[in-house]
Amino acid sequence: MMEIQHPYVLFLGDAADHLAAKTADGVARWRPDWCVGQLRLPGCRADTGLPDVELKTAYRDGARTLLVGVANRGGIISEEWLATLLQALDGGYDIACGLHNRLNHIPRLAERAAALGRRLFDVRHPEVELAVGNGKPRTGKRLLTVGTDCSSGKMFTALSIEREMKNRGMAADFRATGQTGILIAGGGICVDAVVADFIAGAVEWLTPATDDAHWDLIEGQGSLFHASYAGVSLGLLHGAQADALVMCHEPTRTHMRGLPDAALPGLAECIALNERCGRLTNAACRVVGISVNTAAFDDTGAERVLRGIEAETGLPTVDAYRQGAARLVDALP
Amino acid sequence: MMEIQHPYVLFLGDAADHLAAKTADGVARWRPDWCVGQLRLPGCRADTGLPDVELKTAYRDGARTLLVGVANRGGIISEEWLATLLQALDGGYDIACGLHNRLNHIPRLAERAAALGRRLFDVRHPEVELAVGNGKPRTGKRLLTVGTDCSSGKMFTALSIEREMKNRGMAADFRATGQTGILIAGGGICVDAVVADFIAGAVEWLTPATDDAHWDLIEGQGSLFHASYAGVSLGLLHGAQADALVMCHEPTRTHMRGLPDAALPGLAECIALNERCGRLTNAACRVVGISVNTAAFDDTGAERVLRGIEAETGLPTVDAYRQGAARLVDALP
């Protein structure tokens, strides 16, 4: 991971919507100084706000790695992207990708990269030898962001809390559990890509015992209420052994992401189940606050949504990205 | 999977206790006619009850595959076993193994097998291309065995229910989710060995839509209360979309298997959490009965334990292996 050269060009492919490009979007927001621009194919419906660039000119501007910053459901590398990826290799780029399917398993890419001396980074695929989780108490403090659904702001919230803590001079580190987070943090492990038996163990490995005053701010994944991914969320919750949870929520979602017939859980229900399950490995585990993605609202609308949820749950409720995470940090044990 | 030749010799290695050899034990109990005998190293504390055999004589008696029927915690193939495995290849055997670590990844084994034309079956490693779970309702009926802990009788209970249903002329199939079950069923998928994102999807693949009157009897894994493996258990529960759960319990267990400091959950708590989570993908999901492993008790003691749990839970409580599963089948919706 640490060898991936920046600056990056962010490849958005033919992303069906903006959420599909959330990897590119996250890198653009949290590491704008590492990004020369974005590269989009016809039909792309995502936009990071970075300038659209071409491979050749971006290379002259310093870019050295093409980041595949877009996800299809299921993690397939589409045939439409292949021509661009081959051009990038020809043009001097390494490629980094966070999908399930591996660049290294596509013969035309692997052969071209080998012939040209380029590198293909499949950041979703952990290379570390993992052990199963043991649930034993360990020193240091840990916060985990959890959610009512996928793509509800768990990574942004953890990064916002890290920023706030560092501004206060606290010892804190963002711990990445997904491909975007890894590209932002420079390390981490994709917990949804490990062998299922090792989910909790992977999180224990990622967040080992540390100083009593140090906070690990762990990026959550999925939701205990998501029929596709809840197993990952539960293993993450147990492995995190969290002293504090922050519940992340996207209030305009009409159904669980990718599951048109599945309703979102209520916040109270979701808080209760996360606390109940989290207490298996840390009896003090509790939700200390709510982070709401209010991107769909103007300032007045956002305030109304946040006040409503705060009244409903009795917990400090902020949009950690929009407003900063000060109230969440104030609420920590 | 279907190509593994029997008869088998069951390799128990230097198993630390009988539970460590539960793969061998399960195959010996449910497919005794496929087994020539067992092979044990000095210090082995397990015994399937089959005759101890040597590789050469067992081969003359028809054995064609050495089954590695023993598990270390974490799934390591130990150095102590390697000499025996190499002898087996030399003696004409294929080898089948259900551990995380692969026979095919041990160069000395892989090279010897290739040189001799023998096959190494790593049954834990699914070769099927999986999709993420979708949680959509599907036809057919499904029963999942769940547990208070690992190794609490989930496979035996599912197999006992299959036997009872087939005796009644019902349409039913055991669906294997672990290595022993796969060796017994002749197919299946190790859900704890799939990439974490695909746990629920693997179970949907294993138990597709079928006739309305047909029962899939799905082997559960782990426990929602096991700090190492609960993620697998939750994904399995969601993917199974079970109409009925049977709770499996080992009443003499003093702590969660492998976790000396972790207490077992109460039965009521465990039933409640499984039903609560199971209802995410099947609103009718409920625990219909309890299956208790009473192997540690004489008949009188077993009766007392079963009556006590039945009074406590209000649910039909049997030892499905010892007594048969008739009362559980009677309790189905």
Higher confidence at residue A99 or residue A245? A245
Q: Of the candidates A122, A149, A167, which is a domain's last residue?
A: A122
Same domain for A156 and A111, yes or no, is: no
Domain membership of residue B2 (yes or no) is: no
Res B73: pLDDT: 61
**Does the beta carbon of A71 lie under 8 angstroms from any beta carbon of chain B?**
no
Q: How many CB pairs under 8 A join A and B?
A: 136
Please give the structure tokens belonging to residue A69.
């910053």
Same domain for B111 and B245, yes or no, is: no
Domain membership of residue A133 (yes or no) is: no
Res A70: pLDDT: 87
Domain membership of residue A128 (yes or no) is: no
Cα of A260 to nearest chain B Cα, Å? 10
Cβ atoms of residues A223 and A233 within 8 Å: yes
Please give the structure tokens belonging to residue B161.
């229910």
Domain membership of residue A3 (yes or no) is: no
- Name which of B39, B97, B79, B46 is nearest B63 in CA terms: B39
Res B125: pLDDT: 87
A153-170 tens-digit pLDDT: 999 999 999 999 999 999
Same domain for A47 and A157, yes or no, is: no
Instruction: Give the confidence band of A1 by pLDDT, cuts at 50, 70, 90.
Output: very low
- pTM for the model: 0.86
Q: Which residues of A touch B102 (CB under 8 A)?
A: none
- Share of residues in chain A with pLDDT > 70 (%): 98
Strand partners, B172: B215
Q: Of the candidates B88, B122, B156, which is a domain's last residue?
A: B122
Same domain for B177 and B311, yes or no, is: yes
**Does the beta carbon of B144 lie under 8 angstroms from any beta carbon of chain A?**
no
Give how many domains chain B has, as a whole number. Answer: 2
**Does the beta carbon of A240 lie under 8 angstroms from any beta carbon of chain B?**
no
Domain membership of residue B135 (yes or no) is: no
Give the sign of the dihedral formed by CA B206, CA B207, CA B209, CA B215.
positive
Low pLDDT (below 50) residues in chain B:
1-2
**Does the beta carbon of A197 lie under 8 angstroms from any beta carbon of chain B?**
yes
Is there a contact between A277 and B100 if contact means CB atoms under 8 Å apart?
no
Res A191: pLDDT: 96
What are residue B326's phi and psi, to 5 degrees? -55, -45
Domain membership of residue A235 (yes or no) is: yes
Cα of B235 to nearest chain A Cα, Å? 4
Q: Which residues of A touch B280 (CB under 8 A)?
A: 225, 227, 230
Same domain for B265 and B151, yes or no, is: yes
Domain housing A306: 141-330
Domain membership of residue B102 (yes or no) is: yes
What are residue A287's phi and psi, to 5 degrees? -80, 120
Same domain for B209 and B316, yes or no, is: yes
Give the sign of the dihedral formed by CA A10, CA A16, CA A17, CA A22.
negative
**Whole-angstrom distance, CA of residue A144 vs CA of residue B321:** 42
- Name which of B226, B218, B210, B202 is nearest B145 in CA terms: B218
Is there a contact between B131 and A231 if contact means CB atoms under 8 Å apart?
no
Q: What is the DSSP letter of A151?
A: S
B174-204 tens-digit pLDDT: 999 998 898 888 778 999 999 999 999 999 9
**Whole-angstrom distance, CA of residue A108 vs CA of residue A114:** 10
Q: Which residues of B touch A125 (CB under 8 A)?
A: none
**Whole-angstrom distance, CA of residue B126 vs CA of residue B118:** 20
Cα of A239 to nearest chain B Cα, Å? 7
Same domain for A181 and A225, yes or no, is: yes
Q: What is the DSSP letter of B266?
A: P
Q: Which residues of B touch A200 (CB under 8 A)?
A: 227-231
Instruction: Give the confidence band of A213 by pLDDT, cuts at 50, 70, 90.
Output: very high
Domain membership of residue B318 (yes or no) is: yes
Same domain for A52 and A82, yes or no, is: yes
Q: Which residues of A touch B277 (CB under 8 A)?
A: 224, 230, 273
Residue of chain A whose Cα is closest to the Cα of B241: A227
**Does the beta carbon of A196 lie under 8 angstroms from any beta carbon of chain B?**
yes
CATH code of residue A42: 3.40.50.720
Cα of B54 to nearest chain A Cα, Å? 34
Task: Output the 3-class SS for chain B.
Answer: CCCCCCCEEEEEECCCCCHHHHHHHHHHHHCHHHEEEEEECCCCCCCCCCCECCHHHHHHCCCCEEEECCCCCCCCCCHHHHHHHHHHHHCCCEEEECCCCCHHHCHHHHHHHHHHCCCEEECCCCCCCCCCCCCCCCCCEEEEEEECCCCCCHHHHHHHHHHHHHHCCCCEEEECCCHHHHHHHCCCCCHHHCEHHHHHHHHHHHCCCCCCCCEEEECCCCCCCCCCCHHHHHHHHHHHCCCEEEEEECCCCCCCCCCCCCCCCCHHHHHHHHHHHHCCCCCCCEEEEEEECCCCCCHHHHHHHHHHHHHHHCCCEECHHHHCCHHHHHCCC
Same domain for B18 and B115, yes or no, is: yes
Q: Given the structure tokens 């932002």, which residue do they identify?
A: A184
Which of 26-45 (B) contact A at CB < 8 A?
Answer: none
Same domain for B154 and B108, yes or no, is: no
- Name which of A220, A219, A179 is nearest A69 in CA terms: A179
**Whole-angstrom distance, CA of residue A87 vs CA of residue A100:** 22
Same domain for B71 and B104, yes or no, is: yes
Instruction: Give the confidence band of A2 by pLDDT, cuts at 50, 70, 90.
Output: very low
Res A77: pLDDT: 78
**Whole-angstrom distance, CA of residue A58 vs CA of residue A39:** 10
Same domain for B32 and B66, yes or no, is: yes
Amino acid identity at B189:
I
Give the sign of the dihedral formed by CA B237, CA B238, CA B239, CA B241.
positive
Is there a contact between A195 and B194 if contact means CB atoms under 8 Å apart?
yes
CATH code of residue B179: 3.40.50.300
**Does the beta carbon of B295 lie under 8 angstroms from any beta carbon of chain A?**
no
Q: Given the structure tokens 């609308």, which residue do they identify?
A: A301
Res B286: pLDDT: 98
